[in-house]
Amino acid sequence: MTLQLQGLTREIFAGNAPIVTRFAPSPTGLLHMGHAYAAWVARELALQSTEGIFLLRFEDIDTPRVKPDYYDAIETDLKWLGLPWNETPLRQSTRSDAYQSALAQLKSIGAIYPCFCTRSEILAETARMPSAPHGPDGPPYPGTCRALSLEQQQEKIEAGIAHSWRLNSELASQLSGPLEFTDLRFGRICVEPSLLGDVILARKDIGPAYHLAVVVDDAFQGITHVTRGEDLLQSTHVHRLLQTLLKLPAPAYLHHPLVTDEHGKRLAKRADSQSIASLRNAGKSPQEIFTLIERSLDHSATDIN
């Protein structure tokens, strides 16, 4: 193994407590080299401390897209890559009560509101805002339903109109006050509550959304260092808000570089030819796969044929 954790700030190891990390794939497709690198980073960081813990969590709340076979496929790939984990993997699909409790807590302080807008209505509204910034979830929600009165909200809910629950980022910022988080590559970062706007925290059809579930579960599992791709750096601003509103501990973060293909594009699950299983079946060894990852991180061409 030639990969190394590089470019980390000196704030990486505060005290002597064990580092607890997690790799949290969704069982909606096969793992690819980007996943392998993400899992390696999480495990390698945990190993930097005595009695460090590396956990596996399945983010399987989007049940319509989950395929049962992928649970075993993910575990098989991780074991073959030499990336064993501690403890029984956690499945988010078993944690509904915890998410509902968190939602109730946010409702009680008025930090979330029901949104009755359809996707087409939101797209039409944001199309009239050409200068609106785009985050990982697309353009920020324009706040159409935020101004509804409690009576109007209740009328729509009682009428059975489908709705989601959104974070009121403006009110959340007032409730939390100034916040920051520590990233092991980028240092201390001040939270910008409006960066992603009023993100969805729960949907009527599939229940809790990523932003809520990941915050609740990181606290539940005692995660001290959250590792994930740098494409999710903006999401951490939302997560720090939620941690504060829910009175949960704030972990440190490491947003690592992304593994890309030979064209510099981020790898996707739909590219089965680049999956770990396909590479293994083609005769690649774990060491060869990590060498390919290293080349990608060095911004040189990667040939996986």
Check residue 36 and give its pLDDT. Answer: 97
Note whether residue 223 is domain-resident: yes
Question: How far is it between the farthest Cα atoms of the chain?
Answer: 63
Q: Domain check: are 139 and 58 in the same one?
A: no
Distance CA 183, CA 38 (A): 16
Identity of residue 152: Q
Q: Domain check: are 249 and 279 in the same one?
A: yes
Q: Domain check: are 102 and 117 in the same one?
A: yes
The CATH number for 160's domain is 3.90.800.10
Q: Domain check: are 120 and 202 in the same one?
A: yes
Q: Domain check: are 196 and 224 in the same one?
A: no
Q: Domain check: are 224 and 75 in the same one?
A: yes
Both tokens of residue 231? 């494409």
CB atoms within 10 A of CB 183: 19
Note whether residue 47 is domain-resident: yes
Q: Domain check: are 77 and 222 in the same one?
A: yes
Distance CA 86, CA 43 (A): 10
Distance CA 71, CA 133 (A): 36
Q: Domain check: are 196 and 226 in the same one?
A: no
Q: Domain check: are 262 and 237 in the same one?
A: yes
Q: Domain check: are 86 and 101 in the same one?
A: no
Check residue 301 and give its pLDDT. Answer: 41
Distance CA 270, CA 65 (A): 13
Both tokens of residue 88? 């029984």
Is the separation of the CB atoms in 180 and 190 below 8 Å? yes
Q: How far is CA 40 from CA 4, 35, 153, in A?
A: 10, 8, 46
Note whether residue 187 is domain-resident: no
Number of separate helices (H) and strands (E) present in the chain = 10, 11
Distance CA 21, CA 163 (A): 34
Domain assignment of residue 113, given as a range: 97-179+192-208
Is the separation of the CB atoms in 205 and 144 below 8 Å? no
Q: Domain check: are 217 and 198 in the same one?
A: no
3-state DSSP helix/strand/coil % of the chain, to nearest 5 = 40, 15, 45
Note whether residue 305 is domain-resident: no
Note whether residue 265 is domain-resident: yes
Both tokens of residue 297? 């991180």
Check residue 304 and give its pLDDT. Answer: 40
CB atoms within 10 A of CB 47: 14
Q: How many domains does the chain have?
A: 2
pLDDT per residue of the chain (305 residues) written in tens, 0 to 9:
557 776 665 455 555 789 999 999 999 999 999 999 999 999 999 999 989 999 999 999 998 899 999 999 999 999 999 999 999 999 999 999 999 999 999 999 999 999 999 888 888 777 776 555 555 566 788 889 999 999 999 999 999 999 999 999 999 999 999 999 999 999 999 999 989 999 999 987 668 999 999 999 999 999 999 999 999 999 999 999 999 999 999 999 999 999 987 666 777 655 565 899 999 999 999 999 999 999 888 754 434 43
pTM for the full predicted model: 0.89
Check residue 303 and give its pLDDT. Answer: 42
